[in-house]
Amino acid sequence: MKNVLLEILVIFLKILYLPMKLFKVKDKITYMSRESNSESLDFKMIRQELEKEYPEYENIILCKKIEDGILNKISYCGNVFRQMYHLATSKVIVLDTYSITACVLSHKKKTKIIQIWHALGAIKKFGYQTIGTKSGSNINTAKIMCMHKNYDYVLAPSVATAINFEKAFNVGKEKIKYIGLPRIDYILHKDEQKKKEIFNKYNIQENKQLVVYVPTFRRGGKVELDELVEKVDTNKYILVIKLHPLDWKNYTYKQKDGVIYDTEFKSYDWLKIADKIITDYSSLSIESSLLNIPIYFYTYDLKEYKENTGLNFDFANEEIGKYNTGNVDDLLKLMEEKYDYKSLENFKNKYISIDTNNCTKQVVEFIARLLKNEKIKDLGNEPIKEEQTI
């Protein structure tokens, strides 16, 4: 029954879209996302650079989540109509997640769709990689909803990631462009003022090491924090925990002096001032590697996560996998040992092998050349660093 309703929806959208395709295509870039209700960091940095370098081009931001509940889904319809209009009248569409309208509708040849994705890598499986799994779509739904269809280009930071993107998006390697996300610029840019704001906000002492823990959102399950919070030595460490917003919404967590649950600052702002990073299946580990900060993987539910979602990252065969554990005591012990920065460097070079010098400008140049109908074959065809064996 569900798939029948989806088929009807797709047909309805296609009928509505036909007259809209008669509208003239403009020199316009439309950014669409279901990740949040506000403009993402990557979208913002691209838009601002385009407005500065190419003020003649129009930028449209359409970011809205599909919230639970019938009324929220009905209200989302207005956003769908706006998306359809701008899809029909834009030369370039930038996505950072799956978009129903971008994927199920047939667009003009002039319109180019770029998938920049909302993560710098693919530690965990997604898209076509998870079809048939507990956390993924079934094959019939994916086919009806044209999952990840119509992409002209997909940005990737390395060959290792590109291989996973090709599988997850079901695209050929000819659609991959080796250009980094703007967030790389943000991460690499030192911001002393932001550091001062954070330290003042939480009265952070300089004589303690700052450990930032950013766990992956567990859909339908609580993140296990209590044991870590209880056992961490707050005489030596300040533990900062950055949870997914839905984790805060659904659960309560153990409180302790020296442990900060932050909801105000970006994870990237914490990375830039951290002494150590703890994560799990998040691509934040790849992003953190840019800063040459010790990274630890706390994967207490590794077996379950592999079965329900799947991983592209094999901790057993990765050099940096020596810093993975599912046990709190072992994690705290690893944090006391001398860190192997060479393994961290190899990890970074494998998953970030593109030119990291001004990624925002590289993306903007790519978009501008599409708007000008110029050839882009010479842009982003190869990573610049020699990679480790995949």
Alpha carbons 237 and 346: distance in angstroms, whole number: 27
Alpha carbons 228 and 146: distance in angstroms, whole number: 42
Edge-to-edge strands of the sheet including 209-213? 259-261, 237-241, 209-213, 276-279, 295-298, 324-325
Please write down the long-range contacts of 48-53, taking CB distance under 8 Å and 24 or more positions apart.
49/182, 49/360, 49/361, 49/363, 49/364, 50/364, 50/367, 50/368, 53/364, 53/368
Please write down the long-range contacts of 360-364, taking CB distance under 8 Å and 24 or more positions apart.
360/45, 360/46, 360/49, 360/182, 360/185, 361/49, 362/179, 362/180, 363/46, 363/49, 363/116, 363/155, 363/179, 363/180, 363/181, 363/182, 364/46, 364/49, 364/50, 364/53, 364/54
Beta carbons of 360 and 331 less than 8 angstroms apart: no
**Residue count of the chain:** 390
Alpha carbons 63 and 33: distance in angstroms, whole number: 5
Strand pairing partners for 94? 31, 114
Per residue in 145-169, is it b (16+ CB within 10 Å) or e — as a string? bbbbbbbbbbbbbbbbbbbbbbbbb
Beta carbons of 35 and 245 less than 8 angstroms apart: no
Beta carbons of 291 and 356 less than 8 angstroms apart: no
Domain ranges of the chain: 2-180+356-371, 192-351
Geometric angle at alpha carbon 44, from 40 and 49, rounded to 5°: 155
Fold of 2-180+356-371: Rossmann fold (3.40.50)
DSSP 359-372: HHHHHHHHHHHHHT
The yes or no reply on domain 192-351 and CATH 3.40.605.10 is no
Question: How would you classify residue 179: left for phi > 0, otherwise alpha for psi between -120 and 50, otherwise beta?
Answer: beta
pLDDT in tens, the chain (390 residues): 888 999 999 999 999 999 999 999 999 999 999 988 999 999 999 999 999 999 999 999 999 988 877 777 777 888 999 999 999 999 999 999 999 999 999 999 999 999 999 999 999 999 999 998 888 889 999 999 999 999 999 999 999 999 999 999 999 999 999 999 999 999 999 999 999 999 999 999 889 999 999 999 887 778 999 999 999 999 999 999 999 877 877 778 999 999 999 999 999 999 999 999 999 999 999 999 999 999 999 999 999 999 989 999 999 999 999 999 999 999 999 999 999 999 999 999 999 999 999 999 999 999 999 999 887 766 677 776 644 433
Question: 3-class SS at 259?
Answer: strand
Residue 115 dihedral angles phi and psi, to the nearest 5°:
-100, 110
Residue 180 structure tokens: 């980094």
The 10 Å Cβ neighbour count of residue 365 is 18
Q: What is the pLDDT of residue 389?
A: 38
Q: What is the pLDDT of residue 385?
A: 61
Beta carbons of 156 and 165 less than 8 angstroms apart: yes
Q: Do the two domains 2-180+356-371 and 192-351 of this chain adopt the same fold?
A: yes
Alpha carbons 105 and 196: distance in angstroms, whole number: 48
